[in-house]
Homo-oligomer: A and B are copies of this chain.
C-alpha cells in the first residue's frame, strides 16, 4: 500500500520529542498508518491548553528513528497545542485522519486532565474537527511503554474504523501492568479529585523567599465507573471528553434568578 493510501496520523505529546513515550507510540502506529510527529522540543508538562501568541515559534526537522527507520518528525519550540495548530496549518502533507498524543509519562486521570499538555494536544485537534486520542501510562516518570504501545495501537485501529462522535475526544489511561494482567477497556467518567497544595517555602542563597508547588492528590470519588477506579483495578480507562465546558444542567436554575442588572442603570 502506498503511503498516500494509508491513513495519516499526526502524533504529539507534552514530554518532548525525545521522550520514551512518544517513541513507543510512533513505533506502534507506524505499522498501521503513515505517521508524522510534531512535538515540543522541550518537556511541556502541566502547560494545560497554553498557546504561544506573543512570540514566534520554530519548527525543525528532527531525526526520529523508529524500528522501521526514519520517520517524518519536527521539533517545535512551543506548547503541545502550538504543535497541533502549526502542524495542521503548515507541516502535514494532507489533513490527518487522526491526531494522537502521548504516551504521557504519568496518569492524566481526574482533575489532571485540566492541567495536561498531552490532553490539550488532542483537544486542539478535536476543536479543529479531527478525531483525537490522548494516551497516558499510569506511572510517574514512565514504565513499560512497550505494553502501552500495544494497547494504543489496538485502540487506534478501533478509532480509525469508527471515530468518536464529532467534538468528542478520548482520554485513555493505561495501567502500569504487564499486558497479560490488563483486564480490558472500560468507558469511564472523570473522577472528582483534586490536589491539595502544600507549597514548599524556602529561602534562596540571597535570603529571599520562594515557593515551590507540591501537593497531595485527594480522590473524593468512590464511584466504580471513574478513570481512577479503572486503572487502579487493572483496566484501560477510556474517558470521552469534550471542550464545551457548559454546565447545561444548571442553566434553567440560574435563569430563574433575578440578576438585577437593570438596577445599576
A residues lining the B interface (CB < 8 Å): 43, 45-54, 56-59, 81-82, 85-86, 88-90, 111, 113-115, 120, 123, 127-129, 150-151, 154-155, 158, 162, 164-165, 167-168, 171, 179-180, 182, 184-185, 187, 189-190, 192, 194, 197-199, 201-202, 208-213, 236, 238-248, 250-251, 253-255, 257, 259-265
Whether A189 pairs with B246 at a CB distance below 8 angstroms is yes
Q: Which of B151, B171, B189 contacts A244 (CB 8 A)?
A: B189
Question: Would you call the interface of chain A mostly helix, strand, loop, or mixed?
Answer: mixed
With A53-B213, A197-B85, A257-B158 in contact, is A241–B236 under 8 Å at CB?
no
A58-B211, A241-B245 known; 5 other A-B pairs, CB under 8 Å? Answer: A111-B127, A127-B194, A189-B248, A238-B259, A240-B251
C-alpha spacing A57/B127, complex, angstroms: 32
A245:B242 contact, CB within 8 angstroms: yes
- Checking B48, B90, B240 against A120 with a beta-carbon cut-off of 8 angstroms, the contacting residue is B48
A238 partner residues in chain B, CB cutoff 8 A: 254, 259
B187 touches A251 (CB 8 A): yes
A213 touches B85 (CB 8 A): yes
Residues of chain B with a CB closer than 8 A to A255's CB: 187
Contact, CB under 8 Å: A48 / B50: yes
A–B Cβ pairs within 8 angstroms, 27 of them: A48-B48, A49-B49, A49-B114, A49-B115, A50-B115, A51-B115, A58-B208, A58-B209, A59-B211, A85-B199, A86-B211, A86-B213, A89-B197, A89-B198, A89-B199, A111-B127, A154-B259, A162-B257, A164-B250, A165-B250, A168-B247, A168-B250, A184-B261, A187-B255, A189-B246, A189-B251, A240-B247
Distance in angstroms between the alpha carbons of A190 and B242 in the assembled complex:
12
Interfacial chain B residues near A114, Cβ < 8 Å: 49, 123, 127, 243, 245
Residues of B within 8 A of A56 (CB): 202, 210-212
Q: Which residues of B contact A259 (CB under 8 A)?
A: 154-155, 158, 184-185, 236, 238
Asked whether A190 and B245 contact (CB < 8 A) given A48-B81, A154-B263, the answer is: yes
